[in-house]
């Protein structure tokens, strides 16, 4: 059998251990192999065959348990779950999915070459869980060596030291260069391991010996991968012009770790700023307050503005360049630029909420406020009183949020166009309209025609206005519920409401509920409305119309009418 077939058979046998009856048959086969075939095979043959190795490791106790269906399967399942990290097969599969699961394996398996290699290939940092170095150190088996002023821990204990295995460490640092910290001191000095780690992550330089951190070739490899690795270079190299330039080309923020003299070097600082304007914070005090240097920084990243002095943050040319690059830079600007129409307009066009930090004068400027509110209605909260009293700005706000009518000035509240726009967005805005508009029948009628629900918000006097009530119920009959008593007793209005929605019959006055024409109009649409018909429950025409629409309506007819229309005994109805 080939390797794939062996693995399939082994996996199948393992799965069958959890299936009652099936496990009984597979266990009998396993016992036959263990007792009859394996004793006659050489150890080398068994080790070269995955299935034979699996059977050899399968204990007789496990086999005997599996001969008992259900109970044996349950016991084996519980034991396997509790001891899953004792199983090489399970641990191998687990670390292949997540290398850090190596931490859960028992110490013996954390010394297994195949398992550790699989773990570090998936996640290089799993190297920290390999071998028993920490345990050996605690037991006093470690030896401290003092070499070149650096204390190194050298393990000397029985067993294969996987952190000192070059194949495993190379696999680990290839996946994550920072895994170098868990390698043995010997391999942390190995040139091949060092280069592999630095190519993957330049920050691995921090785990290397100071002699290596002083090696220009090695440091160059690190900073070409990550400029911030300059932090871990020797002091001499951090003062080296060529090394620092290389680091800055990769990451301008590496200026933080350059020598003080280089932080005051205009060419070095400019190189950093062209890569990342935020590096301005690490320049010398003299350079970070130089007009040309700051201008270069904000051209790359406007937020660099916050790292210079107030005089330059109050400079229109510099702030304009910063805002054009990053509108949020306006937050770091001085008072002068925040009152500059051009600068603030550029900022709020890209981030309307920056209106909050504009000067009071510009917060009242319609040319600034209008585009801000049109893009983001939340900017309206920062508008000044004059801007809020501008109908065009108020219109832009209430079209997005009708309830903002509450926050606009008196002029927009009395503007029919603005108020109608607010009502279309949210009918509850009517309460914030001017008293004059709320009392204007023509305006209210136009509003109801646009949105009939407005009828529910108008004054009590208007709710008794037949013209307004008709305009409402012709669009939504159920609005009869909000009408005044006089309207509920208006035959014209109630009939219009019932024609639009038969359920409006429920809200008619008792007098009109007894109107045969209105009742018939309702029953033809919904026979169950007979329950609201009062004395008409004894009217043959109304009752017949109701049960024609819904036979179940018969139970709401008067006893005499039920007997007349259906002389058979009627069952009792539960309500």
pLDDT confidence of residue 351 = 97
Q: Which helix (H) or strand (E) holds 445?
A: helix 441-450
Per residue in 89-137, pLDDT (tens digit) is 778 888 888 989 888 888 888 888 888 888 889 998 988 888 654 444 3
Going by C-beta distance under 8 Å and a sequence separation of 6 or more, which residues neighbour residue 405?
A: 394, 398, 412, 413, 418, 419, 422, 429, 432, 433
Q: Where are the beta strands (DSSP E) in 173-271?
A: none
**How many CA within 13 A on the CB side of residue 400?**
13
* 3-state SS class at 75: helix
Q: Taking all residues of the chain, what is their mean pLDDT, rounded to a whole number?
A: 89
Q: Please give the biggest Cα pair distance in the chain.
A: 118
pLDDT surpasses 80 at 408: yes
> Per-residue confidence at 146, pLDDT binned at 50, 70, 90?
very low
pLDDT confidence of residue 72 = 85
pLDDT confidence of residue 140 = 37
Per residue in 279-324, pLDDT (tens digit) is 999 999 999 999 999 999 999 999 999 999 999 999 999 999 999 9
Per residue in 210-220, pLDDT (tens digit) is 999 999 999 99
Alpha carbon separation from 95 to 69, 100, 187 (Å, rounded): 32, 7, 23
Mean pLDDT across the stretch 10-18? Answer: 86
Q: Which residues pair with 147 in a beta bridge?
A: 150
pLDDT confidence of residue 145 = 33
pLDDT confidence of residue 13 = 86
Residue in the structure block whose two tokens are 């002095």: 309
> Per-residue confidence at 47, pLDDT binned at 50, 70, 90?
confident
Mean pLDDT across the stretch 336-343? Answer: 97
- As a whole number of angstroms, the distance between CA 396 and CA 352 comes to 14
Mean pLDDT across the stretch 435-458? Answer: 94
Alpha carbon separation from 392 to 346, 385, 409, 446 (Å, rounded): 21, 14, 12, 21
pTM of the model as a whole: 0.70
- As a whole number of angstroms, the distance between CA 278 and CA 329 comes to 12
Closest CA to 245 of 271, 282, 221, 266: 271
Per residue in 318-331, pLDDT (tens digit) is 999 999 999 999 99
pLDDT confidence of residue 137 = 38
Q: Where are the domains of the chain?
A: 301-388, 523-575
pLDDT confidence of residue 485 = 94
pLDDT confidence of residue 443 = 94
- As a whole number of angstroms, the distance between CA 545 and CA 38 comes to 93
Q: Which helix (H) or strand (E) holds 574?
A: none
> Per-residue confidence at 52, pLDDT binned at 50, 70, 90?
confident
| 62 against 468, higher pLDDT | 468
Alpha carbon separation from 362 to 339, 355, 372 (Å, rounded): 7, 8, 12
Per residue in 550-573, pLDDT (tens digit) is 999 999 999 989 888 876 555 554
| 447 against 137, higher pLDDT | 447
- As a whole number of angstroms, the distance between CA 150 and CA 191 comes to 19
Instruction: List, in sequence order, the alpha helices (H) in 83-190.
Output: 88-97, 113-122, 133-138, 166-175
Query: In this prediction, what percent of the chain has a pLDDT beyond 70?
Result: 92
Compute, in degrees rounded to 10, the torsion defined by CA atoms 429, 431, 432, 436.
120
Q: Which helix (H) or strand (E) holds 2?
A: none
Mean pLDDT across the stretch 6-14? Answer: 81
pLDDT confidence of residue 2 = 61
* 3-state SS class at 158: coil
In three state form, how does the secondary structure of 468-520 look?
Answer: HHHHHHCCCHHHHHHCCHHHHCCHHHHHHHHHHCHHHHHHCCHHHHCCHHHHH
pLDDT confidence of residue 136 = 41
Mean pLDDT across the stretch 329-347? Answer: 97
pLDDT confidence of residue 187 = 92
């Amino acid at each position: 059998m080939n390797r794939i077939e062996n693995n399939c058979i082994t996996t199948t046998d393992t799965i069958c251990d959890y299936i009652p009856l099936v496990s009984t048959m597979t266990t009998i086969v396993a016992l036959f192999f263990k007792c009859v075939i394996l004793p006659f095979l050489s150890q080398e043959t068994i080790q070269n065959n995955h299935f034979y190795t699996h059977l050899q490791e399968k204990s007789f106790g496990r086999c005997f348990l599996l001969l008992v269906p259900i109970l044996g399967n349950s016991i084996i399942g519980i034991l396997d779950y509790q001891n899953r990290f004792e199983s090489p097969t399970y641990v191998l599969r687990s670390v292949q999915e997540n290398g850090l699961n190596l931490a859960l394996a028992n110490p013996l398996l954390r010394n297994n070459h195949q398992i550790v290699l699989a773990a570090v290939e998936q996640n290089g940092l799993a190297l920290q869980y390999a071998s028993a170095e920490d345990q050996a150190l605690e037991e006093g088996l470690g030896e401290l060596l003092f070499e070149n002023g650096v204390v190194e821990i050298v393990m000397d204990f029985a067993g294969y030291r996987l952190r000192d295995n070059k194949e495993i460490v190379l696999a680990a640092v290839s996946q994550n260069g920072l895994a170098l910290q868990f390698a043995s001191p010997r391999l942390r000095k190995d040139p091949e391991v060092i280069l592999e780690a630095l190519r993957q992550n330049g920050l691995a330089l921090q785990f290397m010996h100071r002699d290596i951190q002083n090696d220009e070739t090695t440091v160059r490899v690190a900073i070409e991968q990550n400029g911030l690795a300059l932090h871990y270079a020797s002091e001499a190299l951090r003062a080296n012009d060529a090394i620092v330039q290389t680091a800055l080309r990769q990451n301008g923020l590496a200026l933080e770790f350059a020598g003080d003299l280089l932080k005051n070097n205009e060419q070095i600082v400019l190189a950093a700023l062209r890569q990342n304007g935020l590096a301005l914070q690490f320049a010398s005090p003299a350079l970070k307050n130089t007009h040309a240097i700051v201008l270069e920084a904000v051209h790359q990243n406007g937020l660099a503005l916050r790292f210079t002095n107030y005089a330059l943050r109050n400079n229109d040319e510099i702030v304009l360049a910063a805002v054009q690059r990053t509108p949020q830079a306006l937050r770091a600007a001085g008072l002068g630029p925040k009152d500059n129409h051009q600068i603030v307009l550029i900022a709020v066009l890209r981030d309307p909420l920056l209106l909050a930090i504009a000067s009071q004068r510009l917060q009242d400027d319609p040319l600034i406020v209008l585009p801000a509110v049109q893009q983001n209605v939340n900017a309206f909260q920062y508008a000044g009183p004059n801007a809020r009293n501008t109908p065009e700005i108020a219109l832009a706000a209430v079209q997005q949020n009708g309830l903002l009518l509450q926050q606009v000035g008196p002029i927009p509240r009395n503007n029919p166009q603005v108020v109608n726009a607010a009502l279309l967005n949210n009918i509850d805005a009517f309460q914030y309209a001017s008293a004059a508009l709320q009392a204007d029948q023509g305006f209210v009628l136009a509003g109801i025609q646009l949105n009939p629900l407005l009828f529910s918000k108008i004054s009590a006097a208007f709710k008794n206005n037949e013209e307004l009530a008709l305009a409402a119920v012709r669009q939504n009959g159920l609005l009869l519920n909000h009408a005044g008593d006089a309207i509920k007793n208006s035959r014209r209005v109630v009939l219009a409401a019932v024609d639009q929605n038969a359920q409006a019959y429920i809200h008619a006055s008792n007098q009109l509920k007894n109107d045969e024409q209105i009742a018939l109009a309702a029953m033809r649409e919904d026979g169950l409305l007979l329950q609201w018909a009062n004395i008409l429950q004894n009217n043959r025409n109304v009752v017949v119309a109701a049960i024609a629409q819904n036979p179940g309506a018969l139970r709401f007819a008067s006893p005499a009418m039920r007997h007349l229309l259906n002389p058979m005994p009627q069952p009792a109805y539960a309500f």
